[in-house]
Amino acid sequence: MAINNCVKPQDIQTTPIQEEDFVANGTSKKKEVSIKDSEQSEEVRNLLKNDPFKTLETVDALQKLCVNHYFQEEINSILKTLYTRMYDNSHGQSLYDVSLYFRILRQEGYYVSADVFANFKEKDGKFKGDIAQDVKGLMALYEASQLSIEGEHIIDEAADFSAYELNEKIQFLDQDEVAMVKNTLQHSYQRTSSTFMVKKYIKHYNGTTMSELAKLELAKVQSLHRTEVDLITRWWNDLGLAQEFTLARNQPLHWYLWPMASLTDPSLSEQRIELTKPIALIFLIDDIFDVYGTLEELRLFTEAVKRWDSNTLEQLPYNLRICVEALYDVTYEISDKIYNKYGFNPIEFLKQAWANLCEAFLVEARWFALGYMPKANDYLKNGMVSSGAHVVIVHMFFLLGGATSKETASIINDNNDIAACLAKILRLWDDLGSAKDVNQEGHDGSYVTYYMKENEGCSVENARDHVMAMITNTWKKLNKECLSPNQFSVEFTKACVNLARMIPLMYNYDENHSLPLIEDYICSMF
């Protein structure tokens, strides 16, 4: 997976945890007070019994504080009621109320028409001047605009209008208000992992029952995450590949962050651990194709993965051979666990995903060896596969019980739009090139480079703006694919959106070449 380095292995200190303290569902054997049955939870449930329109702020807060899973039944009932009644904004509802309604329902898979914003426009098509003074409403409008789908011009206009007005008003706001506006514009809820924002939201909602509940949950979840990181680190060390490939990335914590942010429900501990394993192998194989092996050896490596036969490994050098053997073993182990849990063995689907990935890596290796510069679109098409996103999504689909038969399993390949959107967002963010991998020479291509070559006179800034526009349009497609009804479970589509939300956090380095949101969260974990 083409994901840049952010945490050095020597910076990671994990607290030793005994295996016997950890059970399959990811909870500690030690007795603890149930958060679900706490007084704070009961107070929140009472808040959720109010009129559905009045409870949306509470739902929003619970989601931002990452405790919504305790109240999902109540939240589902509220949203269903709201959607059934639909929204009538002819009675003077505020910009904030309408924007919040639009965002939360779309976020949860309900299609809400963009026409709910029509009453906030003048006859000439421009947004009314008085709403430009409503900073809270403008922030909500900007957040809502991030849930747009293709062809919704009114939402595109809302995004531009709200962003412009908020930037214009920053100079007139106090320090706290400036921080809130900047956070909205830089880290909108739809495009940012709430896992890494939760500490900020706890501070924002300080003094509320929900904030106290979130503090308890954060302590519990971070303890669980430490346990999972320890188990992953031990698995990786026992695998022995890091010792053989000393120039490859050796970052168990870094790899784990992706499942941690995408599979947020604490009960999905086993799935997070198992999903980290193919991610680790994606990183390793990516590095093998970049810095290890001749072109012929890489061809043989790819053939060994495509044939999935240990008899094909004899011609490979020892280090590449043990990597393929580890890939076989880990994939069989994961497949067996999925079969035992759900009654379907996805081995053929997983094998094909790995074969496709290695073929894409080989194409890039050949381009580099020949000094060939592909067309930007050809590079992107192959790069979406070499991003590793599809391998991750296929594993995640089966780990979440997405299939019980070959027929139900086939939907992950037959309906590839969500995977394609994630792969494109990942590849394009990676190619913005904000950081280089440690110990590597930068053999990977870049869409920015190829685009500039094809468009004579195009500056780096214009090329980057073009890429950001492509990312925005891809998000629109992803938003549409996640609306109901679709063929995937709610759990799976939410996990996919969470993966997409994680991508900019892994790539958007600040002026100090660091990732403050992620680094702050990691520091608080250990």
Query: What are the extents of the domains in the chain?
Result: 35-212, 240-525
Q: How do residues 433-454 score in pLDDT, each as one tens digit?
A: 644 444 444 456 799 999 999 9
Residue 350 C-beta-side C-alpha neighbours within 13 Å: 29
Confidence of residue 9 (pLDDT cuts 50, 70, 90): very low
Number of residues written out for the chain: 526
Number of CB atoms found within 10 A of residue 87's CB: 17
- The CATH number corresponding to 35-212 among 3.20.20.370, 3.40.50.300, 3.40.50.2300, 1.50.10.130 equals 1.50.10.130
pLDDT over threshold 90, residue 525: no
* Alpha-carbon span 258 to 254, nearest angstrom: 8
Confidence of residue 92 (pLDDT cuts 50, 70, 90): low
Residue 28: what pLDDT?
43
**In whole numbers, what is the pLDDT of the chain averaged over residues?**
89
pLDDT cut 90: percent of the chain above it? 81
Q: How do residues 205-256 score in pLDDT, each as one tens digit?
A: 999 999 999 999 999 999 999 999 999 999 999 999 999 999 999 999 999 9
Is the full-model pTM beyond 0.85?
yes
Scan for tokens 């182990």, then name that residue: 333
Q: Which helix (H) or strand (E) holds 129?
A: none
Backbone angles phi, psi at 363, to 5 degrees: -60, -45
**First-to-final CA distance of the chain:** 26
Q: How do residues 155-178 score in pLDDT, each as one tens digit?
A: 999 999 999 999 999 999 999 999
Least confident of 86-90, 142-146, 238-242, 351-355: 86-90
Is the distance from CB of 132 to CB of 165 less than 8 angstroms? yes
Least confident of 68-82, 131-145, 432-446: 432-446
- The CATH number corresponding to 240-525 among 3.40.462.10, 3.40.50.620, 1.10.600.10, 3.60.15.10 equals 1.10.600.10
Tell me the angle at which helices 460-481 and 490-507 cross, rounded to the nearest 10 degrees. 170
pLDDT over threshold 80, residue 352: yes
